[in-house]
Amino acid sequence: MQKPYARLRSFNKNIFNPLILKFAGGARSPFAVIHHFGRRSGKTYATPLIVRQTPRGFVIALTYGPDVDWYRNVQAAGRATLLWHGREYPIEKPESLNTSSALLEFPLVLRTILRTRGTDDFVLVKSLADAQAA
């Protein structure tokens, strides 16, 4: 039995994500890039994400739920780097967020897309650079 969204996830991983990575993290991009290390392989990976910067840090939509490689890698390492609007942010281990409050952090168009897709999982990551500056 295939997991829900398995075909879409495969398409995104192999076709959509490599295209998005060409502009994700840029000054005008709605996508960020998380750089993380494989928990078993030790390899470096880059994954585009839907995020919103808030005064508390970054809210990240787990569009395929919490059982995805990048998220498990970041949980295991406790850290990663997020490229957002042309700037790199070292980030800490993600914390789960309430769906309704997390959705409010996104602009209406993204909120509508996330709701339509049934995205229920969100996390907050704090920037270590901002914490050190405070």
Run means of pLDDT, 10 residues per run, the chain, 134 residues: 64 82 91 94 93 94 91 94 96 93 94 93 87 46
The burial of 119, by beta-carbon neighbours within 10 Å (0-12 exposed, 13-18 middle, 19 or more buried), is given as buried
Residue 3: per-residue pLDDT: 59
Residue range 6-133, CATH number: 2.30.110.10
Buried residues in 3-19 as b, exposed as e (16+ CB within 10 A): eeeeeebeebeeeebee
Q: What does the pLDDT read at residue 120?
A: 94
Query: Contact 48/32 with Cβ under 8 angstroms?
Result: yes
Distance CA 10, CA 108 (A): 27
Q: What global pTM score does this model have?
A: 0.85
Q: Which pLDDT score, from 0 to 100, does residue 43 have?
A: 94
Domains of the chain by residue range: 6-133
In this predicted structure, what is the pLDDT of residue 81?
97
Q: Which residues, 6+ apart, have CB-to-CB distance to 43 below 8 Å?
A: 37
Look-up of token digits 């880059």? 46
- Across the chain, mean pLDDT equals 88
75 Cβ contact partners less than 8 Å away, ≥ 6 residues apart: 93, 94
Q: Please tell me the predicted confidence (pLDDT) of residue 35.
A: 97
